[in-house]
Structure 1
Amino acid sequence: MTRWKVLPREQCQGIRNFVVQYILQCSNSEEALKTHRTLLNKLNLVLISVLKQEWPHNWPTFINEIISACHSSLTICENNMIILRLLSEEVFDYSAEQMTSTKTRSLKTTMCAEFAQIFKLCQEILNSATQPTLIKATLETLLRFCNWIPLGYIFETSLIETLRTRFLEAPEFRNITLQCLTEIGGLQTGGPDRLNTYDEQLVKMFTEVLTSISNIIPLDMDLRTTYPQSNSRDQEFIQNLALFLCNFYGMHLPLIENLPNRDFLTHGHFYLIRISQIDDREIFKITLDYWLKLVQELYEEMQSLPISDMSTMSLGLMGGGAPNPALLTNFPLRKHKYNEVLSNLRIVMIEKMVRPEEVLVVENDEGEIVREFVKETDTVQLYKTIRECLVYLTHLDVVDTEQIMTEKLARQVDGSEWSWHNCNVLCWAIGSISLAMNEETEKRFLVTVIKDLLGLTEMKRGKDNKAVVASNIMYIVGQYPRFLKAHWKFLKTVVNKLFEFMHESHEGVQDMACDTFIKIAKQCRRHFVALQPSESEPFIEEIIRNLGKITCDLTPQQVHTFYEACGYMVAAQGNRNQQERLLSELMAIPNAAWDEIIKQATVNPGILQDADTIKIIGNIMKTNVSACSSIGPYFFPQIGRLYNDMLQMYAATSQLISEAVAREGEIATKMPRVRGLRTIKKEILKLVETFVDKAEDLQAVRTQMVPQLLDSVLVDYNRNVPGARDAEVLKTMSAMISKLGGLMEDQVPVIMENVFECTLDMINKDFSEFPEHRVEFFNLLRAINLHCFPALLKLDNRQFKFVIDSCLWASKHDNRDVETAGLNMCLELITNIAEKTDVQTSNAFFNQFFITILQDVFFVLADQDHKAGFKTQSQLLMRLFNFVHPSDGTQPKIQGPIYQPDQAQPGTSNREFLGNFVSTLLQNAFGNLTPVQITAFVEALFALNNQYDKFRLTLRDFLISLREFAGDNAELYLVEKEERERDAKAAEHERRSKVGGLLKPSELEEEEL
């Protein structure tokens, strides 16, 4: 895998022959095959690795040899089928990230060219062999070929007939033949507009297989009860049947829709309904993807009709007059062929609904109702897909959807279907279709739902039952902000109900009440500060007035959420005087507690040693942070009120920490009291950072906040022992510099003086200590380089070299965040030097650092542990080559020499020096490379340094060809992956924004609701 090219040719030949002979020896009889199965599996993989190096250029006869060997023995033939399967997988399924693009293309071309004789061999075996293991191995190999071989091999031979016969007549091959037929059923043939001979064969295959399936599984069989008792082969068959139907319908549905016999359409879909009902998440996911595709297509067809045509057609259907004859060519729509299927599907989707992210009260494995802590990403994704499917189903027939949900809710109320699970899934489904109905329908539907659920809360006895219903009410109301905004009294009733739930002691209910409150506060914020009809004051006034009573049973964390929620309302008050009054009243309780502590501390500083006082101060700061995060720039009066006392508190707590460390050593920083004091410091910094991030009057921040902050924070950081230095100081400095930009230029020297060397000294001993400081240190350097670059140039030579060394050191770090920050800073720094400094400064910089940076970039590029940084590494290398000799012919950015006098003759061009230097570097590092390979690679780096995509591809192919990168190379393909994901995300958002309800209310701006 890694050193093959270094071996002399005769040794390569010897190893190759040895492996082949050993494989033949281990597979020349049934007994040998059984005895050596494990070893043989390994030998087969070794042969594939050799083939990737040798075939076709050094071993052009391989395919002929393997086919000839098949005729010598049935067991050798069986193992050779496995080798051909592995080769197909390697070339067509896994090659992208294992081989260079040229090599991959070459192997695919060769495989396709040689395929005729492989296919002929497979057919011979399937038509004449009787040995089950050989037939199975051949079918498994054929299965791997199905997705890439030319269509002619499938449709112009007897292959489909052979497979169908095996399916019908040999139960032991039923699963593998059905998998092959599934692959064939998913192939693109003549397309929906014309029926060609390939399509005819596909339809024939499908109808005959479906007919035979009805003899195996009766259509009315309830798979929910029979599936769990089935043996593993029968269970596998059900899964394969799901794949077969989904694959075929997914690709060729119009062919079946147009058949005169409708049974092949409806029966197949009812099988899928039965399969979807099975309690098996993996099987359900298979069918779910198909259902989503179907309902989306049916919806899009409905949308493609002009609105006038749709309304006329609806009138005709409802007895309001005959539809326009011109429309009958389009009628019935495809969706009408599926009425019964879709109605059943709505029930399936409701009953299969999984827990949304917003629901925090769940039933655990022991059947208890508890607070949910861990998010299951699989469940979150499944919820999104089911939700999308239900939204489309609602659009396709809103009356049927409403009726099914209302009837199911009635059965919860009358107790006939009551259970925690049934109540949950129904309510999650109801919450998932917000905005999919028109406003009038939504209003009628929701009034019924909430009324029934509130009645259910009163009716049910027992805390668990009440907690389940309460959680469902909160989830549903949180999903329907449009309804709440349009019905003020209902909104007020709901919020008051949430306030009631905030006193409910059952695990998770209070959390959910607070989470729902903040969601409603965010989406309906203006309604809380406006004077509503028949009200004597805005509702926010009542909330703030009763804030103490409402939150008295909440934990501190829940109180912080409550303050953040109220903050959204305060920020929505447009009148500045009113807003400042509301802010003052909102913060009255924490401010009173703060004032009392400050007053007591002035008289007796010792109270700051008290554990309860420390906890209270921490919570006051956290409350301010929460409120500031939602109130934003309007928080200025409040932070102004606290600012000076807050910085004095910072200094006082810092003094106490230092004294504790001096008394007890660095172990003191781990003690509960000192940790509590550090929390106060961190929260003070977090409050400043949060406010600065939201601030709009930057000049006021610079003059009124920055000087005092730096005075309080920097010297304290510098003189503390390493264990007592807070990474948050570095984070806050980065935030200040990023937000205020050039306004902070004159402050950079004092920041660097106090944090640079002392932090560097903490982190340069190894790669593991002080992980948070590492990340924030490099983020700070990056922020200075990006936003205050001139200040960086004013550092003395020693400090400047420290900066460069630090950033190169970071690029080799095993912490991804540190590595990323280091690489990005290096890239941004050389760009700034080349483009924003005078020629003299630029020449001096590159003369001193160009080669050092280049060597370090090549070091991390060739290091397997640093594949994750490939995107930035390649950008950095391209920039270095471009600065020396741009491939577009423009003037080089670097005018002076990049080498020292002892490295090259005076007058040597940078282009010549760089080419020779890199060639020597690579030759010394990789002895297996030929001079021709190295020269071609280096020339490509010069030729492509203006085209990032081609430069990156060349670099990636080179790394893979080194064989140093055998294994998982996914991270070398990160750019393509990111681009695909970004494009897909944008297209997905565009698609979802066009269908009412596909974007959740929380994903929409308030104005869009």
Structure 2
Amino acid sequence: MAAEKLRDLSQPMDVALLDATVAAFYGTGSKEERTAADQILRDLQNNPDMWLQVVHILQNSKNLNTKFFALQNLVLFTSVVLEGVIKYRWNALPVEQRDGMKNYISEVIVQLSSNETSFREERLYVNKLNIILVQILKHEWPARWRSFIPDLVAAAKTSETICENCMAILKLETLLKFFPMPSYRNLTLQCLTEVGALNFGDFYNVQYVNMYNVFMVQLQTILPPTTNIPEAYAHGNSEEQFHIRVLESTQENISALLMGLEYLINISYVDETEVCLDYWNSFVLELFDAHNNLENPAVTANMMGLPVCLVFAANLTSMPLLPSVVDGIGAQLLQRRQLYAVPLSKLRMLMICRMAKPEEVLIVEDENGNIVRETMKDNDVLVQYKIMRETLIYLSHLDHEDTEKQENRFLVMVIRDLLNLCEMTKGKDNKAVIASNIMYVVGQYPRFLRAHWKFLKTVVNKLFEFMHETHPGVQDMACDTFLKIVQKCKRKFVIVQVGENEPFVSELLSGLATTVADLEPHQIHTFYESVGHMIQAESDVQKREEYLQRLMLLPNQKWSEIIAQARQSVDFLKDQDVIRTVLNILQTNTSVASALGTFFLSQISVIFLDMLNVYKMYSELISSSISSGGPFASKTSYVKLLRSVKRETLKLIETFLDKAEDQPQIGKQFVPPMMDPVLGDYARNVPDARESEVLSLFATIINKYKGAMIDDVPRIFEAIFQCTLEMITKNFEDYPEHRLKFFSLLRAIATHCFPALIRLSSQQLKLVMDSIIWAFRHTERNIAETGLNLLLEMLKNFQASEFCNQFYRTYFVTIEQEIFAVLTDTFHKPGFKLHVLVLQHLFCLVESGLLTEPLWDAATIPYPYPNNAMFVREYTIKLLGTSFPNMTAAEVTQFVDGLLESRNDLSTFKNHIRDFLVQSKEFSAQDNKDLYAEEAAAQRERERQRMLSIPGLIAPNEIQDEMVDS
């Protein structure tokens, strides 16, 4: 009976009975009683409503173990629901429950912290309370608890142990990550002036001096940016943390410390590459941060353990430290660098000798000892490489001379030795390995190559040699490395260098046929793209045109031969070898167009009309084959080859128009001739013969020429809209390529040619809106996202138009209903950010007064509403109340009112919806990372900015630097 009474959580728990059960569990009862108590406590712990009893238990229990059980239950439940019940369900609680829990936990913390004995004995209990308090703070600050830090400071003035615990709260990692930097530090430091005054004001007794010292020592760990605290150290307890500062304090300790580092370095040479790796990374990072922050003496002084009052004063007054202090900091840094000079030098050698393989190296040795091209990337090795590379970069900054990092000495020595080794080495396998190394190294240092022409020319000529090496992988890597170098050094190839008679590009074009003689078609395309980048860098129009003609001479000659024979007999174009040749020529043109952009105009003009005729002929062949052979015909090799030509034709045109500058005459020259051969062909064809690239091509055209295409939109709609919708709306699987491209085209029209949409009939507009709704219902992420972005464009454009009332009267309720449907469907979690933006738009609009006509249907509503905002509020409450019968009317009403109140604050609005999704129990709390995808992306960008601030962390070839040659 007692057990059933405890398990009934529908009313306040009998805490005395719970105390007795906990006491039995902890050993005061018999074995049977302990077993029964254990089962009862397990049942309570597994009950999702148990956390509601926590405050009641904490207030009434006489047993410390019971209180700990209550808090443990809360913490356990927190871990189950990803950061906790407080994080996800706090805002759903009544105000009195929220305030009661917040005040009680604060009072218990103060009570336990105010006494030295209880504070030490129950430290684990206090720590759990601290964590829960910070979880609450995340919901209460700033709107309902802006005074949090001043409250801590006020409490800290009352006793030394409370002061110590206040600092423990401020140091919690969850709090550090919650408050924005640097506002958190500034707010903290401003508040600390009150405590700082205690040391110099009316309080001279020992208690307050000690309290002040504790406060300031604890403050040292707050001042550095939180990103500089190694994860392993931040989560370790005091016994687990490695106190390297203490070991540096005496000569005896230093000797032991250096010996220990020597042992670790020797251990790190074992075959297990991960041994000590994380430690070395953290150790070197700490030294680097102190060294790198010398320009910020306050931060460096804190990191060096210098008198914190200096740091405190410098931060509060925003004044620089005295030169003598700065010099002292620099001296200590120099002493530490000298202290670790020998082990760091050995560590550099270790990192270089044991460096993991980077992903760019394609030539590897297989299990049989054969040299082969790598086909699969080893993620574990890549992680090791990243950590080791980062560690070596920090080591290089600490002593670049010991690392020998200067480009002139390092690169010249390495590359020349590799080139000489390649000449001396026998055997194709060995040469392939060395070639792979050469190409990897030269591709990493474009700035060095730009500054040393002779070296650059030597490297490029060596790449040309590798292009004749047929060992698997070598030619691919040679062509890829050539492209990478040309993109970063293109200007160097079109000017006459000292000691040269002509620009390198001219010399290259003279020997073009020989250079590419042994390359496969896809390698030739990469090579042509590289040369296209060179030509693009030539500013002289006449020279540029001459280079382009010389580059395209071979493919143009072959094209002319094919067209000439086709004019004699069109059947010539049906030969499969001819079709492959046409495809190869088009792919070559596409590669050059991607590099030249507008400057490709003269070349595409040469082949454009003939290319459209070939396109039309092949399209008719495809259509007739599918019509006679059925859907299976589209899978035959012959039809696939024909379709490849069609697709490459569309890709070439799209690439050129996309890369070309926004010049209206280009659009007028190329768009009208395509209307029938491309658009008309799309409309006439059977579904299986329609190319999705037609949709992306016209999306590119509209994005490029914008409003100039308004008059063409009706024809585009007529050709593609109805027939494409019939293809893609039968199910969510057929014609996957058409789906995304169709909605991308619609979005381009909505963005740049919106007046054309207004001219649609109501039936046509309904088709558009239905297709948009269908798109964001789609489970394919890209399609749903495109549909949502398109919807936002439409909503904003119609809001600004004269048809605002008419549009929203027709679609407001439907859109809201459909968005809530996908928002609360776990299959559409990746669209959360856009769902929120659509809802925010709707709720802001309805409160703005722009909608002057009623949104409700007077024929079906028995009474009029005072305004649209009231209608939307009641409609939304009814909609959600029906959809979520497990939620009370009060909970639904509170959520809807919260949406309306927070509509102008996107962050609050978003968090309010997140809380609702978990509260509604539609979303489990285990995997909601998609709801935080935006914040995660922001964190990744912050990490990238940090890496950009440290030279070398991001490889030079990955940085989009200015291609300016001196």
TM-score range, shorter chain: 0.7 to 0.9
Question: What does residue 266 of structure 1 align with?
Answer: 258
Letter in 2 for 1:51: M
The residue type paired with residue 933 of structure 2 is: L
Alignment partner of 2:868 out of 901, 910, 924: 910
Cross-structure match for 1:978: 937
Any residues of structure 2 matched to 1:221-236 within 5 Å, and which? none
Q: 2:726, 2:697 → 1: CA distance?
A: 20
Deviations along 1:829-848, whole A, 9 cap, x unmatched? 1110011x11xx22111111
CA 289–792 in structure 1, closer or farther in 2 if over 3 Å, else same: farther
Question: Partner residue of 1:550?
Answer: 515
Pick closer, same or farther for the CA change 1:529–1:65 going to 2, 3 Å: same
CA displacement at 1:65 relative to structure 2: 6.6
Q: CA deviation at 1:755?
A: 0.7
User: What are structure 1's unaligned runs of at least 5 residues?
Assistant: 1-6, 71-76, 128-137, 160-187, 204-238, 306-323, 403-435, 887-891
Structure 1: distance between partners of 2:687 and 2:678: 15
Q: Would you say the 8 A contact 2:50–2:73 is kept in 1? A: no
Look up the match of 1:950. Answer: 908
Picking from 782, 785, 805, the partner of 1:843 is 805
Correspondence for 2:824 among 845, 848, 862: 862
Residue 538 of structure 2 corresponds to 573
Pairwise CA distance, 1:575: 0.6
Q: Look up the match of 1:725.
A: 690
User: Cα distance 1:55–1:907, how it changes in 2: closer, same or farther (>3 A)?
Assistant: closer
**Aligned-pair CA distance for 1:998:** 4.9
Q: Is the 8 A contact 2:533 2:596 kept in 1?
A: yes
Kept in 2, the 8 Å contact 1:276–1:287? The answer is no
Q: 1 CA distance for matches of 2:939 and 2:234? A: 29
Q: Within the alignment, does 1:764 sit opposite 2:732 as a pair? A: no
Partner SS state of residue 54, structure 2: coil
The answer on whether the counterparts of 1:342 and 1:393 sit within 8 Å (CA) in structure 2 is yes
| Residue 892 of structure 2 corresponds to residue 930 of structure 1 | no
Give 2:858's match in structure 1, choosing from 901, 904, 908.
901
1:296-335 Cα offsets, whole Å, 9 max, x none, are 2254156779xxxxxxxxxxxxxxxxxx999688436132
| Aligned counterparts of 2:724 and 2:657: Cα–Cα separation in 1 | 24
Residue identity in the other structure for 1:1003: I
Are 2:865 and 1:873 aligned?
Answer: no
Larger CA deviation: 658-667 vs 977-986: 977-986
Deviation at 1:743, TM superposition (A): 1.0
3-state SS of the aligned residue for 2:519? coil
Distance 1:33 1:705 in 2: 88
Residue 462 (str. 1) matches residue 427 (str. 2): yes
Find the residue that maps to 2:364 and give its secondary structure: strand
Q: In structure 2, do the counterparts of structure 1 residues 914 and 98 end up closer, same or farther at CA, with 3 Å as the change threshold?
A: closer
Question: How many residue pairs were aligned?
Answer: 851
Query: CA shift at 1:371, angstroms?
Result: 1.9
Spell out the pairing of 1:24-423 with structure 2 (5 A cutoff). 46-47=46-47, 49-52=48-51, 54-56=52-54, 60=58, 67-68=65-66, 86-87=76-77, 89-90=79-80, 93=83, 98-100=88-90, 254=245, 256-259=247-250, 261-263=253-255, 265-267=257-259, 269-270=261-262, 272-274=264-266, 276-280=268-272, 284=276, 286-301=278-293, 330-331=330-331, 333=334, 334-376=336-378, 379-380=381-382, 382-402=384-404
Instruction: Choose 569-578 or 870-879, whichever is displaced more.
Output: 870-879
Aligned-pair CA distance for 1:703: 0.8
* CA deviations over 1:331-388 (Å, ceiling 9, x no partner): 3613222101211221222134223343222334554432233445555455344333
- CA gap of 1:821–1:1007, structure 2 versus 1, over 3 A, is closer
Matched residue, 1:801: 766
Structure 2 contact 25–33 (Cα < 8 Å) conserved: no
- 1:303–1:341 CA distance, 2 compared to 1 (3 A): farther
Q: How far did residue 56 of structure 1 move?
A: 2.5
Within 1, Cα distance between the matches of 2:741 and 2:748? 10
- Identify the residue that residue 653 of structure 2 maps to in structure 1: 688
- Counterparts of residues 642-791 of structure 1 (less than 5 Å): 642-791=607-756
CA distance in 1, matches of 2:35, 2:431: 63
Shift of 1:894: 1.4
* Cα distance in structure 2, aligned partners of 1:759 and 1:519: 40
Query: In structure 2, do the counterparts of structure 1 residues 687 and 141 end up closer, same or farther at CA, with 3 Å as the change threshold?
Result: farther
CA positional deviation for 1:509: 1.2
Secondary structure (helix, strand or coil) at the match of 2:885 reads coil
Q: Deviations over 1:787-825 (max 9, x none)?
A: 111111111221111001111121211111111111111
Structure 2: how far apart are the matches of 1:676 and 1:38?
A: 72
Among 835, 841, 852, the residue aligned to 2:814: 852
In the superposition, relative to structure 1, how do residues 347 and 12 fare at CA in structure 2: closer, same or farther (>3 Å)? farther
The alpha-carbon deviation at position 638 of structure 1 amounts to: 0.9
Residue-by-residue CA offset, 1:520-548 (whole Å, 9 max, x unaligned): 11111111111122222211112122222
Instruction: Tell me: CA distance 1:617–1:703, structure 2 relative to 1, closer, same or farther (3 Å).
Output: same
Structure 1 residues 65 and 330: alpha-carbon distance in aligned structure 2, compared to 1, 3 A threshold: closer
Partner in structure 2 of residue 517 of structure 1? 482
Summarize the Cα distance change of 1:958–1:460 in structure 2 as closer, same or farther, 3 Å threshold: same
Q: Aligned AA for 1:854?
A: E
Aligned residue number for residue 453 of structure 1: 418
Q: Secondary structure at the match of 1:524?
A: helix
Which AA in structure 2 matches 1:670? Answer: K
Q: Which amino acid aligns with 2:937?
A: E
Q: 2:145: which partner in 1? A: none
RMSD: 4.7
**Residue 746 to residue 259, structure 1, CA distance change in 2 (3 Å):** farther
1:499 & 1:41 partners in 2: Cα distance?
75
Q: Note the C-alpha offset of 1:902.
A: 1.9
Q: What is the rounded CA distance, in whole Å, between the counterparts of 2:272 and 2:470 in structure 1?
A: 35
**Aligned residues of 1:774 and 1:818 also touching (Cα < 8 A):** yes
Cα offset, 1:87, TM superposition: 4.9
Structure-1-length-normalised TM-score: 0.75
TM-score by length of 2: 0.78
Residue 603 of structure 1 aligns with which residue? 568
Identity %: 38
Query: SS state of the match for residue 854, structure 2?
Result: coil
CA contact (8 A) 1:474 1:513 kept: yes
Indicate the residue corresponding to 1:309 in structure 2: none
**Aligned residue in 1 for 2:928:** 969
Give the partner amino acid of 2:660: A
Do the aligned partners of residues 671 and 94 (structure 1) sit closer, same or farther apart at CA in structure 2, a change above 3 Å counting?
Answer: farther
Task: Please report how far the alpha carbon of residue 259 of structure 1 lies from its aligned counterpart in structure 2 after TM superposition.
Answer: 4.7
**Are the structure 2 counterparts of residues 87 and 8 from structure 1 closer, same or farther at C-alpha, using a change threshold of 3 Å?**
closer
Gap change, CA 1:144 and 1:325, over 3 Å in 2:
closer
What amino acid sits opposite 1:401 in the alignment? T
Q: 2:586, 2:652 within 8 Å by CA — same for their partners in 1?
A: yes
How far did 1:601 drift? 2.0
Q: Is the 8 A contact 2:273 2:354 kept in 1?
A: no
Distance 2:49 2:749 in 1: 52
For 1:28 and 1:757, locate their aligned partners in 2 and report how far apart those are by CA, in whole Å. Answer: 79
Q: Counterpart of 1:210?
A: none
C-alpha separation in 2, matches of 1:51 and 1:592:
82
Q: What is the CA–CA distance in structure 1 between the aligned matches of 2:461 and 2:911, rounded to whole Å?
A: 60
Distance in 1 between residues matched to 2:923 and 2:607, nearest whole Å = 57
Report the AA paired with residue 1005 of structure 1: D
1:778–1:818 CA contact under 8 A, matched in 2: yes
Higher deviation after alignment, 489-498 or 921-930: 921-930
Q: Output the CA distance in 2 between the equivalents of 1:379 and 1:84.
A: 40
1:940 to 898, 905, 929: 898
The amino acid across from 2:956 in the alignment is: K
Secondary structure, aligned partner of 1:362: strand
DSSP-derived class of the 2:443 partner: helix
Q: d(CA) in 1 for partners of 2:867 and 2:608?
A: 59
Cα distance in 2, alignment partners of residues 868 and 688 from structure 1: 33
Secondary structure at 1:929's aligned position in 2?
A: coil
- 1:559 and 2:524 equivalent? yes
Equivalent residue, structure 1, for 2:844: 882
